[in-house]
A and B are shown apart, each in its own frame.
Chain A
Amino acid sequence: MLTWSNFLSQLFNGLAQGALLALISSGLTIIYGTLGVLNLAHGAMFMLGGYAGYVAFQATGSFTLAVIAGTLFMLVVGVVMERVIIRYFYARPHEDQLLVTFGLSIVFVEIVRFFFSSQSLSVPAPAVLSGITSLGVMFYPTYRLAVVGIVAVALLALFFVLYRTRLGMIVRAGIEDAVMVDSLGIDVYRVFMAVFGIGAMAAGFAGIVNAPVVSLSPDMGEAILVQTFVVVVIGGVGSFPGAVVGGLIAGEIISLTSMVNPGYAYVMLFAVMTLVLLVRPRGLFGARGRE
């Protein structure tokens, strides 16, 4: 069982899964860091993105259009959600924020179940990226390789927005001290709305890109949500690099443990999280005052 090529292919699986987790987690972590709201509907948004992509794909037959349409749809969902509900919860206790986003996650899941039923759906990979590619010692599904590339580009884009734009500068300043940013005369509420939209977009984008790898089901977001928590706890709340590194670590742990015994993959993941909590309670890249 433990062959060299098996190990390599699991390593790649871990990379693909880790990259996706990194993208979803960075959405969660920048929303939390800036707005102070832990979005429990984030997993459901990942799922929703996948279904939006599915609908767009059914309508147009183009995977690229599906990705674009689904991502934009999630941007709109995020902005509307912030405007209509989340905004009224900034001043309320954390518990209420958790409750309302948890409730919204159930509403999202059940809406999808209502329209698409519980059975799983799939989106085929685009023709150019289907099939398998030879990597010398082994063959590997082309699309999964492409996922790593696509997500890497998305993460770079996110990095660019966060670290090279005016908005990103405000967001990063807001993560450190939102009150201060507010007193500097910046309309934080508009920034919050943008951040929530971007975070939702990241989750939705990951959902569509992931759709050809794993089939879609209404409940798929729950497991992802729990995994992103682990990523954020490992990486440190509010830290973009933490989300990326934590995501990759989590992906590899799940994938490499699965090679030995799939039943222990998640047990191992949580064991590592526990270890991080004991040794570095704020996470690998966490900083004081961000929670």
Chain B
Amino acid sequence: MFSKRPVLVEIVTAAVLVAVPFVLPHLDAAPNTVNRILVWGLFGIGFDILFGYTGLLSFGQSAFYGTGGFIAAYLLTRAGFPYVVLALVIGMVAAALVGYLIGLLALRRTGIYFAMITVAIAEIFFFVEFNPLSEWTGGENGLPGVPTPSFDLGFTKLDFTSGWSLYPFLALCFFVGIVIALRIVRSPVGAILTAIRENPLRAAAVGHNVQAYKLTAFVIAAGYAGFAGGLLGVLQGFMPPDAFMFETSGQLIMQTAIGGRGTLFGPLVGAAVWLFLQDFLQATLKLGAAWKLVLGLVFVLLVCFLRQGIIGGIKDLFTLVTGKGRAAEEPVEEAEPVATRAAVAPMAARHRAGTNHSGPLLRARGLTKRYGGVVANESIDFKVQHGELRGIIGPNGAGKTTFFKMLTCEVPPTSGSIVFEGRDITGMSITDVCQLGLTKSYQVNQLFNKLTVRENLNIAALAELRGTFKLDLFARLDRIPGLQEQVDHTLQLVSLGARSDTPVSQLAYGEKRRLEIGLALASSPGLLLLDEPLAGMSPRERVETVQLLKSIAQGRTMIVIDHDMDALFELAGRITVLQEGRVLAEGTPDEIKANPLVQDAYLGGVHEEELAT
């Protein structure tokens, strides 16, 4: 979302931060409240990368906030360490390290479990701070006497003490934090994090190490929390033990949701609403303790009716008023006639495992899959040669999709082995197999729904260009060599060029099916598996898609499952027929058409009954 005018956001942020101390005092804003908003805002930037971008809702951020804060405060008070900024950085690094270790544990599970585990872990930290470590942390008294920063520049001395005097220091910290975060979300890593939020299974299937990227987001969030925790001590001149409390995590979550998740600025806006409203309700309306009830109600209403928070609401209002969204919603009539598609050069397949390999490209032996007592596949022997286009047919429930899932290592076989380009891939992860150049498109669309068509293809192409995991947090997505070309090419191949900036959720069904194929294609696999690419298409779309399949089959090996026999007989050089989990027959289309076993399987012995009547 920040990609169109890269520096604009930074400039506006800087301008607002500079303007605040000149404007807000006239509005009677307490400088201390403004400073606290900045600390919460900075804390929230990291959290938003974790929650808003990656989709991981952690209820345990207080653990890192407290860790960073207490380590910095301890250094600055009891240890007599003189450098404030360095102490803050040390606190941040320590919090990030702790975040790494906790992440290894908490990220073993997803969704609900992840939320519960983070809550529990944050509670451990709270109790550890209070008891075993109270000698160092001051227990329930916290650590008083945290100094404020001052810099001796030789000719003058800069002292940041409290109130508006401390503001420039905090504003600078926030600004640096937001600049770094903006770089991260515009980097390939940022793109992949959003993909993980939208569809973690597909992100793994196109070849990204999802677990490592999640851990990256977790560590980033912990780092931001640690630095903000240190600033809290500096701001208050005292490191309070309630930094470790569950309420801290809760307030952070609420502020982020109020302001708008996935915006980086949401937590800041949320904190401003939260703290100003608190001041207003308590001081002006004399509500006393009831302020939190009002805020709680506001929060529940916001979650119910304004899902994307205040910033999201403003954006929606903006599109509503300007009518910008309307144009994108109208489906664009297919502009490219089928004929031109032949002109698009076929995309080269990359062979990563070893090009000097001879023999079949893929070989499965005795492949068996049982789910409890149900046998989905039974000792399937299967071979595909380089450059072949194989069709797989079979009645519903024949085990075709299971067979594909095993070939791409999405599910492990109960027994049997799979060899791809001479390498045994049995038991490997779907991510590694995709990196070797073997991937599939899904029978039921598995897309990144909130991303645009181009962003979807970026994700798949990035996996090929960057490998399973790379920490190029500050690289720019538009400067990744080869990315643009590869995505453009794929767009042309699946003829979605005119729709490249449309979000997936606004695509027509046929377009989604083509994007599904495009996602598999964008990582330029050596062996492409397509699971019912024609399912649910209109006759016209079928004709076009068959043309598309023909053009992408050039220079690559493909296996296609479909129920459309006419299409498969036209496309495939050889056909394998599955029935009840076994290979029933294999041969050229003509052989298959003439095979009595196959006829029997499809007609299900009806002709015998008919003879009887």
Whole-angstrom CA separation of A111 from B127 in the bound complex = 28
- Chain A interface size range: 35 or more
A39-98 at interface with B (beta carbon < 8 Å): 85, 88, 92-96, 98
1/0 per residue, CB under 8 A from A, across B230-262: the answer is 000000000000000010001001100100000
Whole-angstrom CA separation of A271 from B131 in the bound complex = 15
Given that A110-B290, A110-B293 are known contacts, is A233 also in contact with B130, CB under 8 Å in the complex? Answer: no
Across-interface contacts of A291 in B (CB, < 8 A): 109, 111-113
In the complex, whether A99 has a CB less than 8 A from a CB of chain B is yes
Whole-angstrom CA separation of A118 from B119 in the bound complex = 24
B438-483 at interface with A (beta carbon < 8 Å): none
1/0 per residue, CB under 8 A from A, across B286-297: the answer is 000110110111
In the complex, whether B17 has a CB less than 8 A from a CB of chain A is no
In the complex, whether B419 has a CB less than 8 A from a CB of chain A is no
Given that A263-B131, A277-B117 are known contacts, is A114 also in contact with B293, CB under 8 Å in the complex? Answer: yes
Across-interface contacts of B116 in A (CB, < 8 A): 38, 229, 232-233
Given that A95-B51, A237-B113, A291-B112 are known contacts, is A85 also in contact with B304, CB under 8 Å in the complex? Answer: yes
Given that A96-B303, A274-B105, A277-B105 are known contacts, is A230 also in contact with B120, CB under 8 Å in the complex? Answer: yes
Instruction: Say yes or no: B296 contacts A270, CB within 8 Å.
Output: no
In the complex, whether A140 has a CB less than 8 A from a CB of chain B is no
- Among the 9-residue stretches A101-109, A123-131, A157-165, the one with 4 or more Cβ atoms under 8 Å from chain B is A101-109
In the complex, whether A264 has a CB less than 8 A from a CB of chain B is yes
Across-interface contacts of B293 in A (CB, < 8 A): 107, 110-111, 113-114
Chain B min CB distance to A171 (Å): 18
Given that A85-B304, A222-B246, A266-B124 are known contacts, is A95 also in contact with B112, CB under 8 Å in the complex? Answer: no
Instruction: Say yes or no: B303 contacts A100, CB within 8 Å.
Output: yes
- Chain B interface size range: 35 or more
Q: Is the interface of A mostly helix, strand, loop or mixed?
A: helix
A193-235 at interface with B (beta carbon < 8 Å): 222, 226, 229-230, 232-233
Residue of B nearest to A261 (CB): B131
In the complex, whether A149 has a CB less than 8 A from a CB of chain B is no
In the complex, whether B546 has a CB less than 8 A from a CB of chain A is no
A146-167 at interface with B (beta carbon < 8 Å): none
In the complex, whether A267 has a CB less than 8 A from a CB of chain B is yes
In the complex, whether B307 has a CB less than 8 A from a CB of chain A is yes
Query: Which residue among A92, A96, A229, A233 has the maximum number of chain B CB atoms within 10 Å of its CB?
Result: A229
Instruction: Say yes or no: B124 contacts A267, CB within 8 Å.
Output: yes
Chain A min CB distance to B307 (Å): 7
Partner of B303, one of A103, A222, A229: A103
In the complex, whether A285 has a CB less than 8 A from a CB of chain B is no
In the complex, whether B123 has a CB less than 8 A from a CB of chain A is yes
Query: Which residue among B111, B303, B307 has the maximum number of chain A CB atoms within 10 Å of its CB?
Result: B303
Across-interface contacts of A264 in B (CB, < 8 A): 127, 131-132
Across-interface contacts of A278 in B (CB, < 8 A): 105
Chain B min CB distance to A250 (Å): 11
Across-interface contacts of B130 in A (CB, < 8 A): 263
Partner of A226, one of B111, B119, B128: B119
Whole-angstrom CA separation of A113 from B145 in the bound complex = 33
Instruction: Say yes or no: B307 contacts A267, CB within 8 Å.
Output: no
Residue of A nearest to B291 (CB): A110
1/0 per residue, CB under 8 A from A, across B352-367: the answer is 0000000000000000
A114-147 at interface with B (beta carbon < 8 Å): 114, 118
Instruction: Say yes or no: B124 contacts A98, CB within 8 Å.
Output: no
In the complex, whether B584 has a CB less than 8 A from a CB of chain A is no
A237-274 at interface with B (beta carbon < 8 Å): 237, 263-264, 266-267, 270-271, 273-274
Instruction: Say yes or no: A104 contacts B300, CB within 8 Å.
Output: yes
In the complex, whether B326 has a CB less than 8 A from a CB of chain A is no
Residue of A nearest to B247 (CB): A222
Across-interface contacts of A118 in B (CB, < 8 A): 289
Instruction: Say yes or no: B296 contacts A98, CB within 8 Å.
Output: no
In the complex, whether A32 has a CB less than 8 A from a CB of chain B is yes
Partner of B127, one of A110, A232, A267: A267
Residue of A nearest to B127 (CB): A266
Residue of B nearest to A100 (CB): B303
Given that A38-B112, A95-B57, A291-B112 are known contacts, is A102 also in contact with B117, CB under 8 Å in the complex? Answer: no
In the complex, whether B55 has a CB less than 8 A from a CB of chain A is yes
Instruction: Say yes or no: A107 contacts B300, CB within 8 Å.
Output: yes
Partner of B292, one of A96, A98, A102, A106: A106
Chain B min CB distance to A94 (Å): 5
B256-302 at interface with A (beta carbon < 8 Å): 257, 289-290, 292-293, 295-297, 299-300
Whole-angstrom CA separation of A104 from B127 in the bound complex = 26
Partner of A98, one of B108, B115, B132, B246: B115
Across-interface contacts of B127 in A (CB, < 8 A): 263-264, 266-267, 270
Residue of A nearest to B118 (CB): A229
Instruction: Say yes or no: A88 contacts B105, CB within 8 Å.
Output: no
Whole-angstrom CA separation of A237 from B111 in the bound complex = 12
Residue of B nearest to A110 (CB): B293
B93-120 at interface with A (beta carbon < 8 Å): 105, 108-109, 111-113, 115-117, 119-120
Partner of A229, one of B51, B57, B109, B119: B119
Across-interface contacts of B132 in A (CB, < 8 A): 263-264, 267
Across-interface contacts of B112 in A (CB, < 8 A): 32, 38, 94, 98, 237, 291
9 of the cross-chain contacts (CB-CB < 8 Å) are: A38-B112, A99-B299, A103-B296, A106-B299, A226-B123, A226-B246, A270-B127, A277-B108, A277-B109
The 10 closest A-B pairs by CB, nearest first: A263-B131, A110-B293, A106-B296, A103-B300, A229-B116, A270-B124, A107-B296, A103-B299, A266-B127, A95-B57
Q: Can you add 19 more A-B contacts, CB < 8 Å, to A38-B116, A85-B304, A110-B289?
A: A32-B112, A38-B115, A95-B51, A99-B299, A102-B250, A102-B254, A103-B254, A103-B299, A110-B292, A114-B289, A114-B290, A226-B123, A232-B116, A263-B130, A263-B132, A264-B131, A266-B123, A266-B127, A270-B124
